[in-house]
Amino acid sequence: MARARAEGHLRGTQGVEAAFGELGIRIPRPLGHGPSRFIPEKETIQVGNEDAMMHTLFAESFATLGRLDNVTLVMVFHPQYLESFLKTQHYLLQMDGPLPLHYRHYIGIMAAARHQCSYLVNLHVNDFLHVGGDPKWLNGLENAPQKLQNLGELNKMLAHRPWLITKEHIEQLLKTEENSWSLAELIHAVVLLTHYHSLASFTFGCGISPEIDCEGGHTFRPPSVSNYCICDMTNGYHGVDDIHASPTTTESVCEVEALMEKMKQLQECRDEEEASQEEMATRFEREKRESMFVCSSEDEESAPTRDVSRHFEDTSYGYKDFSRHGMHVPTFRAQDYSWEDHGYSLVNRLYPDVGQLLDEKFHIAYNLTYNTMAMHKDVDTSMLRRAIWNYIHCMFGIRYDDYDYGEINQLLDRSFKVYIKTVVCTPEKTTKRMYDSFWRQFEHSEKGQTTLSPLPLLTTPSAPQVHVNLLLVEARMQAELLYALRAITRYMT
C-alpha cells in the first residue's frame, strides 16, 4: 500500500515535471532530508508545528536574515540560546557599528573560508552583494581593499593558532597609514572573525545541510520510489530510519549511572581533601600534554577547494598543537586575564553593548541544563559542563587555577575528546560516524523530560548532542577572544 502511494505520488510529480520540462524549466528538489545530515528529520521541528516561543524566534530569524536557515532549525532545540544567538548576530551584522555593512559580511566570508565552510561562505556572499558589496572582491582576497587583506594574518592565527597572537600583530593593523584600522573597527572585526570561526564549528559539528536554494542544496535528478537513491547516499543519508550507532537502552542506562557515580565520587573527594596548587598545576600540564595526542581517526590533510580558498591566503596554514615539536608557549592563566574581569569591559568600551550580548550568550551556553540524565531527575550536571568547557580551554593553553584538571579524564572518555577536538580545532573533518559514536550515553542524558522544560522537542535524542555543540562553539569563541583581546590590551598599555 505504502509503495503504491509512493508510486502514485511519483507519477504525479513526474507529470508536473514533464509539463515544466516542455517549457524548458527544471524543478530542483532538496538533496538532504531535513536541516542536518546527522540528525534524523523526524527528530527536528517541522515549521508549522512549533510552539509560540519557537514561532516568535522563527519570525525574528526570518525578519533579520530574510530566510529561515538550517542553523536556526537545529539551534531551536535550545530556544533560550537561539534567542541570544540571533540577537547577537543581528547586532554584529546590521546595527550601528564601526564597520560598514559590506565589510561585515566580507569578514564573515573570510572567517568561514578558513575552515572551508562553503555553507556559511555562500550565505554571506549573497548578503555581501545584497548590501552593495563589490562583486570583484569575491574573485579573491587579493581583489579586496588592502585594509581587509591586512586582516588575513590575524584571521588565520585566530582560526588555527590563537596563542601566537602578540601586540606586534595588533600594532601592524593599527599603524598602517591609510590602510590602518581604528581600535573600535578592530574590535568589531575580531568579534566577527571569532563568531564565524565558532559558527563553522557548529555547522560542521551538527552536519548542517545547505538550503535548497544554495549551492549543494538541490539536485535536478528525479526522485526515487525507494526510501533513498544513490545521490542521497553521497549526501550522508541512508534511508528513513537512517543508520545510528546507538547502544541499547540497558547499555546506555549503565553508562549514565557509572558517570553519575564518578561525579558523586569526585564531589566527595572535593569535600574531603583539596589538592595543593602545585598538584593542580601538574594535573593541568598533564592534561594539556595528553590533549596533543588526541587526534581524529579521520585525521588527514585536505586541500581547500578553489571556490572557498580564494577568500584567504596561505592555504597550507592550519591547526597545530601549541606545544608540539618542542616549542613551548607559556600557559595563559585565566586569573591574569579573563573574560569577566578584562575582555568584557574592553569590548563594551570600544563596541558598546556587544560585550553584554556576548557575556549573556556565554553564560546561557555554560549554564544551560535540564537537570536530568536518562531516567534520573534533579541532577546537577555543572561538573560535567565545566569539564567540557575547561577541556577546550586547556587545549588552547588556558588554565584556571581553581580547577582540578584530573576530573577531565574521569568524566570525558577518549571518543568524546576526539569529537571535541575535531569540532573545535578542525571542524571540516567532522564526520557522521564521530557524531554518532561520541560518548554514547549522551544520547539519553540531560534531556528535557522534566517540568523544567515543557518543550517536547527537547525529549529527542539529538537535543543533548546539539547542547554539547553549543558548549564547544562558545568555549572556542571565548578562547580565541581572550588571546586577541589580551594582545590588544597589551598594545594599549
Residues that are catalytic: 117
The residues, any chain, with a CB within 8 Å of residue 291's CB and separated by 6 or more, are 321, 391, 394, 395, 417, 421
The CB density around residue 301, as the number of other CB atoms within 10 Å, is 7
Q: Which amino acid, 99? A: L
List helix spans (H) across 235-381. 249-272, 277-292, 306-309, 344-350, 354-367
Residue type, 15: G
Sorted by sequence, the CB contacts under 8 Å of residue 300 that are 6+ apart come out as 429
Residue-wise over 198-235: b if at least 16 C-beta within 10 A, else e? bbbbbbbbbbbbbbeebeebbbeeebeeeebeeebeeb
Neighbouring C-alpha atoms within 13 Å toward the C-beta of 314: 14
In this structure, the dihedral spanned by the alpha carbons of residues 377, 379, 381 and 382, taken in order and rounded to 10 degrees, is 140
The bridge status of strand 218-219 relative to strand 29-30 is: antiparallel
Helix (H, G, I), strand (E, B) or coil at 445: strand
State in Å, rounded, how far the first CA of the chain is from the last one.
75
CB atoms under 10 Å from CB of 317, counted, come to 15
DSSP at 333: E
**Number of other residues whose CB lies within 10 A of the CB of residue 294:** 19
Grid coordinates given for 403? 580547577
- β-strand pairing of 398-399 with 332-333: parallel
Pairing state between β 218-219 and 332-333: unpaired
Distance, in Å, from the CA atom of 81 to the CA atom of 303, rounded to the nearest integer, reads 34
Residue 426 neighbours by CB under 8 Å, 6+ apart: 115, 296, 299, 318, 319
Question: Does residue 439 contact residue 413 with C-beta atoms inside 8 Å?
Answer: yes
Neighbours of 240 (CB within 10 A): 11
Asked if 225 and 3 touch (Cβ cutoff 8 Å), the reply is yes
